[in-house]
Every structure is written in C-alpha cells, then in structure tokens.
Amino acid sequence: MSLVPQDEIARTVGKEPGRLRRAGAPAVLALLGAAALVPVLIEAAGGGPLAAALGGVAGNVGGGYLTGVLEKLANRLRDGQSRQEPDEIRDRLAADLLTALQKNDHSAGELRAELTDLLVEVDGFGAAVSAATGDLQTHLVACVSELAGQQSETLRRLGAVDARQRGMERQLRHQARQMQEMLDRQRLLSRRPPESIAAAEHAPPGMPRHHTAPMYPAMIINAAVPAPATGLRWQGGEEIAVGDRVYLLHDYLLDEHFGAAQSVVFRQARGLQLISPEDPGQGHVWLRQAEVRHRGRDTQHALAALPAERQLLAALGSHPGLPSAVQLVADEGRASLAFAWPTSQTGRPCETIERAFGSDAAPMDSWQMFRLFTGLAGLTGALVRLHSRKASHRALEPAAVIVRDDGSFVLRDLGVAAREYEPGEGPAGYQAPEQQRGARGQPGPGTDVYQLAAVAYHLITGHPGPVPSTRTAPRTRPTAPAGSSRTVGCSWPGPGNTAARAAGGRRRRPG
C-alpha cells in the first residue's frame, strides 16, 4: 500500500484548515476517518480484497457497518463511476460517512464506534492535532474531547457490566483509555520547549512533522496480534465472545471438526446474540469460524475463506433468498463470520426445511409438497445470482435452507462458494458425482442443481437419494400422494428438468 493513513490525515489537515475549523465533532470524525481509509479504498479499487486492506491498516476495525460503506464506494471506483484521485475519494467517503453519522440511530452508533476505533489504532487523532497549529489545533483537541466524552457517557449508561456485556465494555474502555492518553499527550505537546517545536518545523523533506522524535511520552497502541488458539470446544449453552459481541451457542447444528491437514479447526453453530455495541437486544445468528491450531499448507486459504464469503455476499447484492452477514472478525489466527438467522413473529428462530418438512418423518401430503416445491423454486433465483458470479454453493442439504414465516426459503450461508474445490467436499448423502474423490470434472452450477434435487427427493420419499452412479428409481413413502414419483420430476422455474434427472439418479458423470 503506497499511502499511509497518518500521512493522509496530516495532509488533509494541511489542505483543509478552514473546513476543519467550521466542522463539528461528527464532521471532523468523518473527514479524518475518510482520510485514514483512502489507502484502503485505493487498494480495494485496484482489485485487492477489502478485508485484507482493512486488516493492513487497523487489524479488525471495519467488521460491520463501516465495511458496507467502504464496499459500496469501492465498487463505484472499480466501475469507473467515481474519480480515483485521493482527495476526491476522501471527500466522497467523508460525505457518505457524515450522512450515516447524522442518522442518530443504531447504525450511526456502530459507525461512530468503528471510526473512533480506527483513528485510535492508527494514531489518527494524534497525527491530526500534531499537524495543526493555533486555533485549529485547539478546535481539534476540543472535538476529540467531545468524542471521548461520548464514549465515557456510553460507559456510564452501561452501569454494572456483567459477563454478557463484557465484549462491549472491553471495546469502549479500550477506546476511552487510548483517547484519554492521546489528550494527555497533546497537553504535554502544548508545553514543549520552543526549540523542540522548531526542530519539528524543520523536519527532513518527505518526513511529516508528527514523525519527528517527540519530547513527550509516546502513546502506546496495542498492535493487532493473532488471536491465540483457545483449545476450547464449542458446546451448547456456552457463551463465546466474537470481537465486541457475545453469543450463546445452541446445540442444534453445532459442528466442530479439523480440516484435512489437521492444522485448522472449523466450527459452526446457531447462536443467540446477547450483546452488541449498537443493539442491546437479542437476535439469532448462524456462526462460522476457522481457527489455526498450527501452521500448515491450508491455513492461509482456510482463514481467507470467510472474509471472501463476506465479500462475495456483498457483491451479490440484495435478494430474498440470500443470507445476511452481520459481523466479520478476522486476524492471523482466527476468522469468524456471523449471519442473521430469520426469526418468526413469536421471536423464535425459524426452522430449517429439515425440521419444517421432516426428512424422515410422516408422509408428505400434497399441500406440503406444494409448499416445498414453491420454496425451492424461489430459492433458485438466489442460486442463479450466485452462479452469475461464477460461484456455486456446493453444500446444499435440508439443514442449509431456512423457512421464513411467509413460506419462502433462504440460504443459511453460502456453503463452500468462497473456497477452492476439494475432492470429497459437500454434505454426505447430497454429494454430486463431481464432488466425490477421484471423480472427473469440476463442481459448478450443475452441482447445486443436483443437490437441490437430492434434497427434494429425500424430503418427499423419506430416504436419501441413490448413489449418483446408480439408476435406482425413486421409491415413495407408502402413504405419499398418488403420482408423487412423478412430482419429483415436475417442471419448476429454473433448472427443473435437470433437477428431475438428478433426483431420479440418471445424471451422467461430468466429462
């Protein structure tokens, strides 16, 4: 990355003194935050991954609302809709950030916390105040004091913080401590002897003034370090902290296993959000995590998969059948991604089609069959959008699809769409021929078609489909409606006829 956040902040202060003098604390926060993020946007617009660019600037900062704002602008830059000059990028982002901050809602609170955290981590406030002089320096210190006061007030309102609030309390106290240290440093800076100020004014060419040796105690910033391997197993009823949020794990769908090289442990579970910075209420989520136990050939790819899945989901845009990511936290040792789990009108989590229709339960009547095929037909639109990005889910099974209150289906996550193909991938009982070890060909859109049909086959007949290489005709449940075997091969929107061939076990091996 050719630009440095502190340099961009100092340059902005030097070029925009009048604008900063007239700005209130929110506008100052937006402009300084935008200046710090210019290197991130330039790298992302050039094709670099946004998550990696953010990590290079400030560790885990930007895992929520801020990431969404950055992704939108990065996409406009890639498409040539916005100029790519640093000052124009900064001003465009600053306008977007200020608009969001002025909404005064939960998302504005989340964004304010993320921008504050960003500027604390990169010493952006110190760089800005050091680059300013006279009344501008006084005004910037006042703005920083106001922002620090807002953090302290939030802490005061929290009152006694119990175990369920420890994530939010930890982040706020870290920010408040760092900002107070920065303010103390600026008070010492204002009392520096004149000769040290003159030395700073005559710094060597190319070195910003705030990079000269200070005559005051240095502000200590906790560097972003890899999260240590916990060595703990996920269990139902356990509370886990992911970044600044705390979740209560459920037993249903909980899974923990090692990768093929035994160097990374993969976890997933449904959970209940107990506390988050922007919303003290509760919400159900689907959690996925990859944690490095020891370095191996697959660790880099395993950790990059979840940020890549978040980026792919952002690129797909809005669609009722696609999941919604609510949190991404990634560093050199662990990556975690949380999706919103739809809830019913009663506040309970919606069921997967595995539970809603019962893959091994009572026979399916004609009305259930109609609901199933209507929901699956609607889900094909989300899969088509995924296929348009040259990606495929490749992990479809009854537990991977959720039924909303209105009867529509939504994907629990994007499966393994953001991962490279590995022989033997895919859920047992729903693997397409090309996913099996030793098979010829590569998975693709046809893999999703096969798996979707295999799901329908299992739910209608009450037993998993035949081995892909066999030609066994589907057997219906004893009391299933007449013609249900033909129903498996009915015509439906999207790749219906291909799905019927897959469900009947007559799909040829690729190649």
pLDDT of residue 416 exceeding 60, the answer is: yes
Query: Where residue 218 falls among pLDDT bands split at 50, 70, 90?
Result: very low
HSE toward the beta carbon, residue 398, CA cutoff 13 A: 22
316-367, pLDDT tens digit by residue? 988 999 999 999 998 888 999 999 999 988 888 999 999 898 766 566 788 8
* % of the chain beyond a pLDDT of 90: 25
Interacting residues of 174 by C-beta distance below 8 A, sequence separation 6+: 120, 222
pLDDT bin (cut points 50, 70, 90) of residue 383 is very high
**Per residue in 93-118, pLDDT tens?**
888 888 888 877 767 777 787 788 78
Average per-residue pLDDT for the chain: 74
Structure confidence at residue 211 (pLDDT)? 35
Residue type, 504: G
Residues 37, 289: Cα–Cα separation, whole Å = 27
pTM of structure: 0.52
3-state helix, strand, coil in the chain (%, to 5): 50, 10, 40
Hey, what domains does the chain have and what are their CATH numbers? 5-211 (no CATH), 239-340 (3.30.200.20), 353-503 (1.10.510.10)
Residue 374: band (very low, low, confident or very high) from pLDDT cuts 50, 70, 90: very high
Record the tokens describing residue 12, joined without a space. 């902005």
What's the rounded mean pLDDT across residues 183-207?
45
Average pLDDT rounded to a whole number, residues 484-508? 38
pLDDT tens digits along 34-49: 888 888 777 777 666 6
Q: Where are the alpha helices (DSSP H) in 327-444?
A: 353, 366-388
Confirm if 291 and 259 have CB atoms less than 8 A apart. Answer: no
With beta carbons less than 8 A apart as the criterion, state whether 280 and 388 touch: no
